[in-house]
Amino acid sequence: MENYQKTLRNKIINKKLSVGIIGLGYVGLPLTMLLSKHVSNVYGFDSDKKKIQKLKKNISYIDRIDNKSLNKIKHNTIYSHSFINIKNCDVIIFCVPTPLKKNQPDLSYLRNSIKSVFEHLKKGQIIIIESTSYPRTTREELANKLQKNFTIGKDIFVGFSPERIDPGNNENKINLIPKVVSGYSNNCRDIIYQFYRIAFKKVIKASSLEAAEFSKLLENIYRSVNIGFINEMKIVANKFGLDIYDILNLAETKPYGFVRFNPGPGIGGHCIPVDPEYLYWKAKKIGIKAAFIKLSAKINVNIITYIKNIILKNLRKQKISFKKSKILLLGLSYKKNIDDLRESSSLKLIKLLNKENIGLVSFSDPYIKTNYINTRDFNQKIRNIRITANSLSKFDIVVLMTDHDAFDYEIIKNYSKFIVDCRGKFQTNNKIVRG
């Protein structure tokens, strides 16, 4: 009888592996590019045929990945929307979206992907989920189904490894971020540990599948709670006529017990707005009301309304009609130096301003190349303005939503009529207020 674990270990040692990445988005495509440097072949799978067509032509659809980089890996990378090549893979990694639907986890992408690959699976494969979800997902959605046809830990190996990609952060490259791994059994975890050591500088073993799943949620809930807290403190400080950034500068001089979080226009991206709701939903299922999670989420949602009200207040103060007003949002992506619009605070603010019958809402973002914004919950044509002295002077209020490094802040400061600063880039004065 074949020793599948030994066979896989030899392939890992010799780097004679074929790896399949399911889902070629902001997580899957960077992982594809990393692993292509360390294994024999990488198969990239995605149900979006347009993505596959672009990748086959070495055309990137993610800003931080250029066409030249894609061209470098074309010799050992195969892209397809069909799952037939799953049978050729030694390792299969799920990197599909796990969004929310009506404040509940939507595992349809993961479930459909798992269902699609099942008929192509064979003995001797490693199957890993990197998609974020609540504790027990890997066990319930993957392992329990595999047990009908395989013996996990003997002829097939199952695990979970949370993705930790930080878009726009060039200092924390994907292979330098410590990689947490877990397995259905100890030997599953061991072989997955050995696999990831091929490409990642540091790999950390978790005690269980559930511990690894929970750790990813905890990381992002920690950020969500602290961002919510500091956004609330910003509102309180503003009421006192105080500058929250001045206060933060003083507080962080304490050599222990204080970790700085900066306020902003809410939270965005796939992880931080979504992950807390995953754990809140699961905790509620087992009879626990995670109040901190819900409270921070509420604050981070309400901060958009707070910014909207600042804009309206200053329009009234300047005696400018809402219907005739012109508002410019600086930055559309959810964080600086990337093109990612998932859960964008700017898009949420535009919706609120539209309800107030604002005359014209435009944006400026060097990372967004279109005037037509089409996301899962936003579909609208908006003018993308190039920042100049002349263009800035035409708007009644300029709102700094995303502090891209590419913005010329001197021009913005000097030629804007009025600025609502949501990122703390400017000193407040008679024409600059904190948002």
Both tokens of 257, joined, read: 């017990």
Give the span between the Cα atoms of 108 and 45, in whole angstroms.
Answer: 17
**Helix, strand, or coil (residue 46):** coil
Both tokens of 328, joined, read: 């410019």
DSSP 68-121: HHHHHTGGGEEEESS-GGGGG-SEEEE-----EETTEE--HHHHHHHHHHHTT-
Active site residue 95: no
Contact 267, 342 (CB under 8 A): no
Radius of gyration of the chain (CA): 24
Contact 27, 62 (CB under 8 A): no
Longest dimension (CA), the chain: 83
Give the span between the Cα atoms of 416 and 262, in whole angstroms.
Answer: 24
Angle between the 345-355 and 291-317 helix axes, to the nearest 10 degrees? 50
Q: Which residues are catalytic?
A: 271
